[in-house]
Structure 1
Amino acid sequence: MYRVFEALDELNQTLEQAYGVPMTSNCMVPRNDMLALLDDLRNALPVEIDDAQDVLDKQEEILRGAEERARNMVAEAESQADDIVARARQDADTMVADAEHHASTLMAKAEDDADHLVGSARREAEDTVHRAQAEADRLVADGNASYDRSVSEGEAEQERLVSQTEIVRRANDEARRIVDTAHVDSERLRTECDEFVEGKLSEFEESLSGVLRTVTRDRQALRRGAGVSRRRTE
């Protein structure tokens, strides 16, 4: 492709440098050089350009062939589409029939299962009610027995408390009597103790007075040098 542009440049340069013919717009160029440049230009043109020219020459024929093939392809596609639609409809009808049959089977089985479950639930409910009634009767009986037992125990406890109240009253009276007696005995013992202590202290005081008098006389005798007098006791 580069040679094409190079040949065109040389051709243009040759035309620009050619001698002009007086009184005209023509020019004189070397024939052999121009023919050689044209041959180079023709040989340098890409093959695709020639193919493109062939395509342009056969354009109408190619278009007619393409339209014919397109019509054939459309017809074939429409035929295939019709076949596919027909098969799809047939498959859909078959699937719908199978689904309806399967649904009917499932509905029948579900109804049977539901009836079985309802029957089982009813029997279980009846058994539960019977057990609950029996348990309620037992609880009521136990409650009545417990109530009667509690009432009996309450009455017995009441009688015991009444009896204990009388005992407590008597015990309180006896306790007060014992306390009063203890107070009297305590006062008596305190008086006797005071009298005993007073007597002993008086005797001790008299004994100490005699001892002091004796000690005083002995000291006086010692001072006079007369010797110690014999201790006398009173």
Structure 2
Amino acid sequence: MDPLDRIDELIAMVEQARSVPMSRNNCMVDRGEMIAALDELRAELPADLRRAAALLEERDKIMEAGKREADRIISEGEAEHARLVSVNEITVSAEHEGARIIAEARAEAQRLREEVDDYVDTALANFEQFLTRALASIERGRDKMHALREIGTFGGDDSERPLPF
């Protein structure tokens, strides 16, 4: 029988016992019956107490194992978090560095385009000036040739006269 049931049985024995005359708190119980019930309770209690102690010890072991497992999981989680943060920081840093390099490359390409444009513009301006002078010289030469032809000095025997230009 369960020790709690034994205790309930003992309480019932006391509640059903006859009262001692002229006493409110005293009662008469069968001594032999009460001692037998208490002996049975005493015999059952050590086994139940050992089972309870074993259960408490097993509970403590399970809780300790659970705590170790929780600590391990937390530690692994923190390590993974640190790794991911590190990877993320590296990624962010690499993205910033890549953006900086691209911006520098674009700025350098723009600067080079402007330099090339300036060089080509200067070269074309110089060539334009050369061509303008050459055209002016050609035009002057043609004008002289036309003027000489009109006055008649350019005709006839060319071997005797030097060319005007």
The normalised TM-score by structure 1 is: 0.30
| More helix per residue | 1
Larger Rg: 1
The normalised TM-score by structure 2 is: 0.42
